[in-house]
């Protein structure tokens, strides 16, 4: 089995961490180095934009890196897509085989009618689990942010021991009492059309989407506004708003999944890195520090950013990941 150490030598020093078997390769696809990575000084690989059929739904994904390198699976949050990982994919591709899928109804994946039942976290977990198998991923490092954790934990729990390390970026392992969720509470309680409409009027607005990027950020001028404009525009597509409302409503069902994920991580203690914005309006620093209640040896680095920390701290997060994975795999 190919490990991070056997693929390339570490370029960053760090203290020793738990050693585990590395992620296996995905199915063979030829790639060629295109340029030098400014972070690692190694060749990086071009990003490929592919689709794969999962139960009749076309799932779009970004892929980069060499076949045979350890696999990193990137799962995005709401209301974004794999586009949020553009820079990180480039930085990781020098050493890892990177996959970043779009969920059904998001990004460039198909948007089946809601009657197909794809817009719950259980269904998204099933789709991404099938995606992992379909593209030939054996073992992987999971990078999850926001909704990506609720999806990724389901994949982790369904196929134990395939996740070799966890990287959490503003990703909940415990429920949050943030006021951000306040307008959802009445909708969670009764699911009425009236409260669904109130949730629509609050959450599916440019201001709320923009705040996910800029709230808690030290210097908002570092964030490309195209990111939140693109996310907001995607919510305006026919049917997209109702898909998001379905998933926002389904958040209420995740207590048992989070508990199962805690139990699994507590028992298995995979190498865990938390690289979150400490000023997150959803999952603030105290929420992210709770990872140590489950994985005492978790490495936690809270950066001076907000919920979408990749938007202004991508270089820092990539450097943390290279350091961590060089020691953990």
Q: 267 burial class (0-12, 13-18, 19+ CB within 10 angstroms)? A: exposed
Within 13 A of 160's CA, how many CA atoms are on the CB side? 8
* Nearest of 86, 77, 88 to residue 320 by alpha carbon: 88
Indicate the helix (H) or strand (E) that contains 54.
Answer: strand 48-54
Q: Using CA atoms of 9, 149, 214, 314 in order, give the dihedral in degrees to the nearest 10.
A: 10
Within 13 A of 248's CA, how many CA atoms are on the CB side? 26
Q: What are the catalytic residues? A: 307
Cα(221)–Cα(293) distance, rounded to whole angstroms?
Answer: 36
Indicate the helix (H) or strand (E) that contains 319.
Answer: helix 310-328
DSSP string across 171-195:
--SS----GGGGGGHHHHHH--HHH
Which DSSP category does 123 fall into?
A: H
Cα(1)–Cα(187) distance, rounded to whole angstroms?
Answer: 48
Cα(100)–Cα(83) distance, rounded to whole angstroms?
Answer: 9
Cα(277)–Cα(284) distance, rounded to whole angstroms?
Answer: 8
């Amino acid at each position: 089995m190919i490990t991070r150490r056997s693929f390339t030598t570490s370029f960053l020093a760090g203290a020793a961490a738990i050693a585990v078997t590395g992620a296996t390769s995905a199915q063979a696809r030829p790639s060629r180095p295109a340029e030098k990575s400014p972070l690692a000084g190694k060749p990086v690989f071009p990003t490929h934009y592919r689709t794969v059929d999962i139960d009749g739904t076309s799932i779009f994904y970004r892929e980069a890196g060499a076949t045979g390198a350890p696999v990193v699976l990137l799962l995005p949050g709401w209301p974004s897509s794999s586009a949020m990982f553009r820079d990180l994919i480039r930085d990781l591709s020098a050493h890892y085989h990177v996959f970043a899928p779009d969920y059904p109804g998001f990004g460039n994946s198909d948007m089946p009618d809601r009657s197909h039942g794809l817009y719950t976290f259980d269904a998204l977990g099933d789709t991404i689990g099938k995606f992992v198998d379909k593209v030939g991923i054996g073992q992987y490092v999971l990078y999850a942010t926001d909704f990506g954790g609720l999806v990724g934990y389901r994949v982790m729990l369904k196929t134990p021991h395939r996740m070799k390390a966890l990287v959490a970026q503003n990703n909940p392992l415990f429920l949050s009492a943030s006021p951000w969720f306040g307008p959802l509470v009445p909708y969670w309680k009764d699911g009425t059309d009236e409260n669904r409409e109130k949730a629509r009027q609050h959450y599916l607005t440019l201001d709320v989407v923009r705040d996910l990027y800029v709230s808690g950020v030290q210097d908002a001028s570092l964030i490309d506004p195209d990111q939140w404009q693109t996310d907001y525009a995607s919510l305006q597509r026919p049917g997209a708003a109702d898909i998001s409302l379905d998933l926002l409503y389904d958040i209420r069902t995740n207590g048992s999944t989070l508990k199962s994920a805690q139990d699994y991580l507590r028992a298995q203690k995979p190498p865990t890195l938390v690289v979150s914005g400490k000023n997150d309006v959803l999952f603030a620093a105290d929420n992210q520090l709770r990872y140590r209640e489950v994985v005492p040896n978790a490495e936690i680095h809270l950066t001076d950013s907000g919920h979408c920390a990749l938007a202004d701290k991508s270089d820092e997060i990539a450097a943390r990941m290279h350091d961590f994975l060089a020691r953990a795999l």
